């Protein structure tokens, strides 16, 4: 599992790197199938942006972007968006196929006494 942190027009400092790693590791504890994480931190005039791109087995590619006046707030917002997207995807996969199929309904009807 790799975590890549890239800075666009900004130097990634040690505290920023630690904050990103802490947020991403929390996500990795909940979802161990994530294989690759790329975090892009950017600065445009006074807007601080954070983009998180996840790739994993069965997850595909999940992207989240956030902008605010504070870099740490942008990182937190992007991490929350990513968590929501991954959780939504997992719920969708988990719920898929829970409904009874036509074959199961027919088998139950045959077993019931008339």
Strands (E), the chain: 2-8, 34-44, 47-56, 60-68
Give the pLDDT confidence of 12-67 residue by residue, as tens digits.
Answer: 999 999 999 999 998 888 888 889 999 999 999 899 999 999 998 877 899 999 99
Domain 2-111: give its CATH code: 3.30.160.100
> How far is Cα 13 from Cα 98, in angstroms, rounded to an integer?
47
Domain edges within the chain? 2-111
Confidence at residue 2, expressed as pLDDT on a 0 to 100 scale: 87
């Amino acid at each position: 599992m790799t975590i890549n942190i890239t800075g666009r027009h900004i130097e990634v400092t040690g505290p920023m790197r630690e904050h990103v790693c802490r947020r991403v590791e929390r996500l990795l504890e909940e979802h161990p199938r994530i294989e690759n994480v790329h975090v892009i931190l950017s600065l445009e005039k006074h807007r601080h942006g954070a983009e998180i791109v996840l790739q994993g087995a069965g997850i595909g590619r999940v992207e989240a972007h956030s902008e605010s006046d504070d870099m740490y707030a942008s990182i937190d917002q992007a991490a929350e968006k990513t968590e929501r997207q991954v959780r939504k995807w997992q719920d969708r996969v988990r719920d898929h196929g829970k409904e009874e199929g036509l074959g199961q309904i027919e088998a139950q009807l045959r077993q019931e006494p008339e």
